[in-house]
A and B are shown apart, each in its own frame.
Chain A
Amino acid sequence: MNDDSIDKEKIEMLLRRLPEREVPPALHERIMDSLPTGTRRQSIPWKLRSCWERLMLLAPMPMKAGAILAMTAAAFWLGKEVGSEKAIKNIAFFHENSVITAAFDYGNANQMSYMSLFEDENNNLLRDFMYQTTVQEEKPTVMNRWSDTFFRNMENLPEDTHNSPGTAITGTDSVLFLLNLAHNLADSGNYHGALHQYEKVLRINPQEQTALYNRATSYYHLNDKIGERQAFISYLNHYRSGRWAYQAVAYLQRLGVFDYQVSMIGGRKVVVNQTVLLGSQQQARQDELERLTNYLRQPTAGELHLVVFYKNDLEKSRAIATQLKQRIDSILGKNRGLPIRISWFDEPAPIQTAEGGKRELEKGLFLFTQPSTQQRRTI
């Protein structure tokens, strides 16, 4: 759990989102069969089907797994019997059941099928096939490389179009498909594979929010601290508010990166890069302030409080606070109607590291808005 206290609104929200269990697949049939309607079919196929449905409803997991395994074996045997490449292709692609694909001699069948589909320019089938094969493969293989080639080709296409009429895959489709693939790989614990797919999404759309965030969490699961830090920073370069942005700040602070902080501005939480604001790079500071002023223009902004601290340097704290106030003033313009109150001090701020140790932040900035004195009087 995060550190937020659990209030009633949060509980109400969680109650609304409580997950529900799926109904056992044969329950509907079972209910309908039990109705006293007198229209039940009593033929032998019906009896067999009914028996199977009851088995699937009542059987414990090992029995279900056994039954599925038996079906897979039967499908495999059938595939062998039929023999020809064409039959393999038809069975593998026109039945969506992945166990059938998995049953084939992996390397050869997949490669032959891929080549065949590639030659046919049948991209929808090819996409489904890539999905099945890359999900199943743990390590980069020939199929993974082909999948890369396939998606690289797709990335080079004009937006939302495809060169194969009638089987168009849009850019949006590709992103959704790749995201789903990445999520599934992450689900199965294959974070390297997931990362690979999130990167592909970001090559198509560098601002794709889900991919940006989950790329970072994949690094986190892989315990790749450098990758994690860069990925979360990259997320914050694009998004500064919303739950994921606040989480990204928390993750970064856990990694010892205290450049970002969450500030309450104009009635909403916004992530601010304090290092940039206190730094000497003029353009970066200007960009950061402009980003901030979007929130400061909200009518609910009230008055802005800006507090700067530098350890043992009161004069510098004051100078920076004054400078920032002037810059915000100039960006907002004369008719801003937003009082800015500045303060400064020369004490470091105590912080706690992820390991629970105490540290000092030698310089920093607090930024927040609150209702103005006049607004408070009206309340």
Chain B
Amino acid sequence: MHRTDEEIVTEVLAGRTQQYAEIVTRYQKPVFNLMFRYTRHELDAADLTQDVFLKAFSRLSSYRPERSLFSWLYTLAINVANDWSRARTRRQTKLPPLDELHPPHLTYRNPAIRLEAHEQGELLEQALALISAETREILHLRYRHEQPVKEVATIFGMSESAVKMRIKRGLEQLQKIMQEKNDHER
């Protein structure tokens, strides 16, 4: 039987802490991927994901069901990622370039689809790495995770019109970068 996030949170707060495993199962992938986009390193991303879920667990009582758990958790994750970015800037560590990383596993089973999607997806990933982290994450939330503009605005503490503007500009930036790269390759 499918239980809602609220039901699980209630059970965890009532002392059945092992139920928290279900929340981890549901949201570890988007959180891990968010962290990977910031760190570009699997182990760092895994460490930060662990931090997020640990913080979420200790602050679970502050969660209000008026908001979706995903949105609440993602806000926390964005804050953890930003903290990490600030600390990294202080340490002046260098991120590995994108082409040194192993590409993520594509879910398409069909070689034909995979070949085409791979080329275009690769170009998009390169372009995403060149725009600001905040705009990139706004686009991810809006399109990859299909979050409504209102929810994205809450997560980033912006007005809805500001989010819409960011999305518009972000798409334009991506279009420009991808077009340039595409023309260059041809």
Contacts and interface: CB of A to CB of B under 8 A. Distances in A.
Contacts, number: 126
Given A23-B32, A210-B112, A217-B115, 17 more contacts: A8-B175, A11-B174, A15-B124, A15-B144, A19-B104, A19-B105, A19-B107, A20-B29, A20-B144, A22-B105, A23-B46, A28-B21, A28-B25, A28-B28, A32-B24, A34-B50, A186-B111
Interface of B: 17-18, 20-21, 24-25, 28-30, 32-33, 36, 42-43, 46, 49-50, 53-54, 57-58, 103-107, 109-112, 115-117, 119-121, 123-125, 139-140, 142-144, 146, 171-172, 174-175, 178-179, 182, 185-186
B178 to A, nearest CB: 5
B184 to A, nearest CB: 11
A26 to B, nearest CB: 9
Given A22-B105, A180-B109, A31 B179 contact: no
26 contacts: A2-B116, A6-B182, A7-B175, A8-B171, A10-B120, A14-B120, A15-B139, A15-B142, A18-B124, A20-B104, A21-B32, A21-B33, A21-B36, A22-B29, A23-B28, A23-B32, A24-B32, A24-B42, A28-B24, A28-B28, A32-B21, A36-B57, A39-B17, A58-B43, A214-B112, A244-B112
A217 B105 contact: no
A8 B175 CA distance: 7
Contacts of B57: 35-36
Interface in A73-124: none
A7 B179 CA distance: 9
Contacts of B53: 31
B111 A20 contact: no
B33 A20 contact: yes
A35 B54 contact: yes
A212 to B, nearest CB: 10
A17 interface: yes
9 closest Cβ pairs, A-B complex: A15-B143, A21-B104, A37-B17, A19-B104, A31-B53, A6-B178, A14-B124, A23-B32, A19-B106
Nearest to A17: B117
Contacts of A57: 46
Given A32-B24, A183-B110, A11 B121 contact: no
- Give the bracket for the number of chain A residues in contact with chain B: 35 or more
A34 B25 CA distance: 15
A1 interface: yes
A16 interface: yes
A57 B171 CA distance: 36
A11 B18 contact: no
A187 interface: yes
Contacts of A186: 111
Nearest to B176: A6
A27 B46 contact: yes
- Tell me the interface secondary structure of chain A in the complex: helix
Contact of B175 (A11, A27, A243): A11
B62 to A, nearest CB: 17
B121 A6 contact: no
A15 B24 contact: no
A230 B86 CA distance: 58
A18 B50 contact: no
Contact of A11 (B105, B146, B178): B178
Contacts of B28: 23, 27-28, 31
A355 interface: no
A213 interface: yes
A27 B124 contact: no
Contacts of A217: 111-112, 115
A15 B178 CA distance: 13
A3 to B, nearest CB: 8
A7 B117 CA distance: 16
Given A20-B33, A23-B32, A32-B21, A183 B140 contact: no
A244 B24 CA distance: 39
Nearest to B102: A21
B54 A34 contact: yes
A8 B185 CA distance: 20
A16 B143 contact: yes
B44 to A, nearest CB: 12
B17 A35 contact: yes
